[in-house]
Structure formats: structure tokens, C-alpha cells
Amino acid sequence: MQPQTIAIGCDHAGFPYKDPIIKHLKEQGYAIKDFGTNSLDSVDYPDFVHPVANSIESGESQMGVLICGSGNGVCITANKHKNIRAAMVWRDDISALARQHNNANIICLPSRFISLHEATHFVDVFIKTEFEGGRHERRVEKISEF
């Protein structure tokens, strides 16, 4: 099932990719919840990650996109939320497998290491790929066991 609403957030390093990705998603008919940042001014990425994760946990959004320089900071922060499965993506197959095998609900992008074209493509793959369930279901259920 494809999402209807996608939450997005970034830090200053991810900012140049955020608006073009939002435009691309809106052109495909998705509603967007933009949690910032809205400039190149230095910010603390957790301030933008937590609202994205909260939006997904509350059901307000079905998936999320997070962008920072390395992708690591936003991914680590998002995964502190019990019902979030954030995946760091830098290739097509990683994007697809994050959904197919891990039922990831947030894609994390490293803006300093991938092009805007790649980032947009990875978001498309992520959003359009379905969770396979089956043997993967029991594994995913064990993730937030503790």
C-alpha cells in the first residue's frame, strides 16, 4: 500500500534536496508534511527528525524522508523511536530491500554522497516498493520487542 501523506525533514546539509523532492512527490499526488529546516543556516538535525518520526507514529503520515549530509545522524535519531524503522539508502537495491525485507517507514538520504537525481529516484523506489511480509514479518516484529 502506497502512502498518502509523507513527512519530510532535513538539516542544513539536506536542505538543497528537500524542496525538489517535495515538488517531485507533490507532482505524483502525495500530500507532504514539511518539518523543515528551511534554510542553509546550521541547525541540529534531531529538531527536525523527531517531528517526522512522531508524525508517522501518530498515523498522520505513512512514510518519511530524512536528509542530512551523511544520512547517519538522521537515521540514528529516527530509530530511537519504537515504531520507526529508518533505513540509510545510497543505492536502488538498498532502497527496495529496506521496504521488502525490513518494512522501513523512513528513508534516510546522505546528501553529500548522492546526487539530487539519485535521491529522488531512491525515494520513488522506496515509496513504491511493498513489504514482502512472510518470513520477514516475524523478524520485523522482533525489532521493537524491548
Asked whether the predicted pLDDT for residue 59 surpasses 60, the reply is yes
> Is 2 in a helix, a strand, or coil?
coil
Task: Identify which has the larger pLDDT, 34 or 140.
Answer: 34
C-alpha distances in Å from residue 97, one per residue of 40, 87, 128, 143 = 32, 10, 12, 16
> What residue numbers bound the domain in which 47 lies?
5-143
Query: Cα(112)–Cα(104) distance, rounded to whole angstroms?
Result: 22
Query: Cα(57)–Cα(89) distance, rounded to whole angstroms?
Result: 21
Query: Cα(16)–Cα(116) distance, rounded to whole angstroms?
Result: 9
pLDDT of residue 133: 64
Say how many domains are in the chain.
Answer: 1
Query: Cα(126)–Cα(146) distance, rounded to whole angstroms?
Result: 27
| CB half-sphere exposure, 93, CA atoms < 13 A | 0
Assign 98 a pLDDT band (cuts: 50, 70, 90): very high
Asked whether the predicted pLDDT for residue 135 surpasses 70, the reply is no
Asked whether the predicted pLDDT for residue 91 surpasses 70, the reply is yes
The residue-averaged pLDDT of 100-108 equals 92
Task: Find the CATH number of the domain harbouring 62.
Answer: 3.40.1400.10
User: What percentage of the chain carries pLDDT values higher than 70?
Assistant: 90
Residue bearing cell 537515521: 75
Q: How many residues are present in the chain?
A: 146
Residues with a catalytic annotation lie at 68, 101
